[in-house]
Amino acid sequence: MKKACILSTGCPESLLDCARLKVYFEKNGWSTTDDPTTADLTLLYACSLTNSTTENNLKIVQDLQKNAKQNSQVIVWGCLPKTEYEALSQIYAGPTFSESDIDKLDEIINAEKPVSDITANEVCPRYQIREDSRRKLDKSPRDLLNHYYYYLYSKINLRQPKDPSVFYIKISTGCLGQCTYCSVRFSRGKVKSKSIDKIMNEFRDGLSRGYKTFALLGTDLGSYGRDLGYTIADLLRKMVKEKGEYRIGLRNMNPHFLSQMMDDLEPIFATGKIWYIEIPSESGSDRILKLMGRAYTVETLKESVRRLRKACPSLKIRTQIMVAFPTETNQDFAETIHLLEEVKFDFVEYYIFSPRLGTVAEKMPDRVSDRVARRRSNRIIDKVVLDSILKMVKKPFNKLRSINS
């Protein structure tokens, strides 16, 4: 029996895509392993979100090829081959494809069961970069803060690898955005949605198997269904009508589409069935948002969050912030900090702008220096860690206050 190793270094959507491939190979008579050195075929879903992830993934490709067993094959697929093909071709000469043309794999392995017929509802563990390639944390105050930040990151995160208590459903891939900094859309393409009927079948299957926590994944859930003539509100309206004790998490919903659907979403969130939503803010500056190609304002974002929290006070809301977008001034960054102070998201994920090949932002002038970018990212960490400590301190005091009142 041939043995396949399926690896991913990317987002939760790619981890679910890889879990799907594990099922696919097993359905086609292969066994699977987590050890690439023993596999006859290793498939790496390679991420290219930032410059650093691209560099790390290119190193991983070299590592996998170097340590592969004799007469085995390594295939690199996912975002990296679509966005950084020239760099990849310097070290790799094998076949490539992305999720949008994954059916190429059927021909490569002479599959009897096509990949289009396969679904999966768990995520693969993320492939870890070798320990010696990472900068080790020391005991300086800055590194301790970084360490605590990533501890917090793991506490409110749908990315925890292979969590057996979560039933994952991929409802779409691709998006309808025109973000000037993003290269993922070159790989994922325009939104392609799974039908409501298919999703409901998976959801009911999860309920029948006793799952209580569900996670809906897609490149942008706000784009879901718009290629089929409906929206995610139509899907969620049907899901929350199902009987039973369960909760649903929503990963990555563009604020532009969120604000459009608020009238439909409020009563859905009011059921208490939606426990988590990720709303990527990106910036607290309207000027920067416009340069980013984000079709919303800070005020519309804040209004959406206010309405969601009013509908469901227990809702956990996570956001993403990009630091040091070209031309970002101290005032622009101060507006981002003000957004975090005002909205008080339950978790903030930050990343520093990276010029991605082929994007509009790649050619934008007035780049922010590395030194300033690091200083601003450290300020985000300080802000997030401080807010989390204050929350933890506040909880027991509020409990005591309620007991004594």
| Residues 41-74 pLDDT 10s | 999 999 988 888 899 999 999 999 999 999 999 9
Per-residue pLDDT at 381: 86
Per-residue pLDDT at 163: 57
Per-residue pLDDT at 49: 86
Q: Please say whether the dihedral angle defined by the alpha carbons of residues 383, 385, 389 and 391, taken in this order, is positive or negative.
A: positive
Round the average pLDDT of the chain to a whole number and report it: 89
- What is the C-alpha to C-alpha distance for residues 175 and 191, in angstroms, rounded to an integer? 4
Domain positions in the chain are 3-126, 133-160+163-404
CA-nearest of 354, 358, 345, 346 to 377 is: 354
- What is the C-alpha to C-alpha distance for residues 404 and 401, in angstroms, rounded to an integer? 5
Architecture of the domain delimited by 3-126: 3-Layer(aba) Sandwich (3.40)
Q: Across-strand partners of 318? A: 278, 347
- What is the C-alpha to C-alpha distance for residues 126 and 402, in angstroms, rounded to an integer? 43
DSSP string for 169-213 = EE-EE-B----TT--HHHHH-B-EEPPHHHHHHHHHHHHHTT--E
Per-residue pLDDT at 137: 42
Per-residue pLDDT at 387: 75
Per-residue pLDDT tens digits for 338-365: 999 999 998 888 899 999 989 999 999 9
229: its two tokens:
């003539």
3-state secondary structure of 319: strand
Which of the four CATH numbers 3.30.450.20, 3.90.120.10, 1.10.10.10, 3.80.30.20 does domain 133-160+163-404 have? 3.80.30.20
Per-residue pLDDT at 131: 40
Kindly list the distances between the CA atom of residue 345 and the CA atoms of 44, 159, 213, 277, 305, in Å, as whole numbers in the listed order: 34, 18, 21, 11, 9
In the chain, which residues have pLDDT < 70? Answer: 128-163, 389-405
Per-residue pLDDT at 126: 83
Per-residue pLDDT at 113: 95
- Amino acid 25 reads F
Per-residue pLDDT at 91: 95
Per-residue pLDDT at 385: 75
129: its two tokens:
């970069």
Per-residue pLDDT at 57: 92
Q: Using an 8 Å Cβ cutoff, are 15 and 126 in contact?
A: yes
